[in-house]
A = this chain, B = another copy of it.
Amino acid sequence: MSAPTSIELELDRTWTHGPDVQHGGHLLERVAAAALEAAPHPHPLAVSAHFLAAPALGPATVQSTVLRSGRAVSTVRAALVQGGRTCVDVTVSAGRLGPPGVPLYATGAPPALPPVQECVRGAGQAGERNGILEQLDVRFDPGAAGWMREPSAVAEVRGWVRYASGREPDVLGLLCLADALPPVTFALGLRGWVPTVELTVHVRALPAPGWLRLVQRAQVIADGWLDETCEIWDSTDRLVASSVQLAGYRA
């Protein structure tokens, strides 16, 4: 185990929504990026994060400790700390992803979506700024955008996603995008608060340039808790990341 290292971050309004709430996926991307500076491998393979407290705007510190440096995998434990309080606890297992080969096995397919121009551009709630929708160009499948029209019977949200800036997808950005779609509860017409407790992202390949297709689903919403899985497919029809989260549901 190496000595801990610290990296200072400034948390600004770029990715906030509502009353200056930082986007969880964006925090995860920044913590993982800082953690990887301490690691001998460049790419996050498996990243798990527990969200303990919402950080405020302003300075925060990522404290990282390399737990193991292996040949194929190294593991770094990191925490986003602000005012002595751990806000996000993260562990990153890192490795090196190369050009993708022919899979030994693959099942599933990218979500079936209408062409981009027939999809519905993401828009926040009236009168409320949403940094995610400023940073990302999100086009929802009209058939799974229930909160915009009629509630759906299926807890699924799917759409095209790219950066508004023209930035092409990259491996660290996948950690943010795995949490970028609105909660699947919206599709059901449920408008409660959905605070993420735990989010795990597995990165499977370096994403190709172009639009990404995302699909997010829930299996069970019960007893104040819900699960959400997200798949991210790139423009070559490859699954580049998948994630699962446990969140609260506060009606």
Q: Which residues of A contact B (CB under 8 A)?
A: 1, 45-46, 48, 50, 52-53, 67-68, 70, 72-73, 75, 77, 79, 84-86, 89, 91, 93, 97-98, 100-108, 154-155, 188, 190, 197-198, 200, 202, 204-205, 218-227, 239, 242, 244, 246, 248-249
Residues on the B chain within 8 Å of A242, using CB: 219, 227, 244
Q: A63 to B189: give the CA distance in the assembly, Å.
A: 44
Contact flag A52-B72 (CB < 8 Å), given A103-B221, A198-B46, A244-B200: no
Q: Is the CB of A223 within 8 A of B101?
A: yes
Q: A190 to B104: give the CA distance in the assembly, Å.
A: 10
Q: Is the CB of B68 within 8 A of A219?
A: no
Min CB gap A67→B, angstroms: 5
Selected from B103, B108, B218, the residue in CB contact (under 8 A) with A222 is B103
Selected from B46, B68, B239, the residue in CB contact (under 8 A) with A53 is B68
Copies, count: 2
Q: A98 to B221: give the CA distance in the assembly, Å.
A: 15
Q: Is the CB of B222 within 8 A of A107?
A: no
Q: Is the CB of A48 within 8 A of B197?
A: no
Residues on the B chain within 8 Å of A97, using CB: 223
Min CB gap A192→B, angstroms: 9
Residues on the B chain within 8 Å of A103, using CB: 220-223
Q: A52 to B98: give the CA distance in the assembly, Å.
A: 22
Q: Is the CB of B68 within 8 A of A105?
A: no
Selected from B52, B67, B104, B239, the residue in CB contact (under 8 A) with A86 is B67
Min CB gap A122→B, angstroms: 22
Residues on the B chain within 8 Å of A102, using CB: 222
Selected from B72, B73, B154, B225, the residue in CB contact (under 8 A) with A204 is B225
Residues on the B chain within 8 Å of A72, using CB: 224, 248
Contact flag A223-B100 (CB < 8 Å), given A107-B154, A197-B45, A197-B73: yes
If A204-B227, A242-B244 are given as contacts, then 10 extra A-B residue pairs at C-beta distance below 8 Å, sorted by A number, are A1-B86, A46-B198, A48-B48, A53-B68, A67-B79, A105-B188, A107-B155, A202-B227, A202-B244, A204-B220
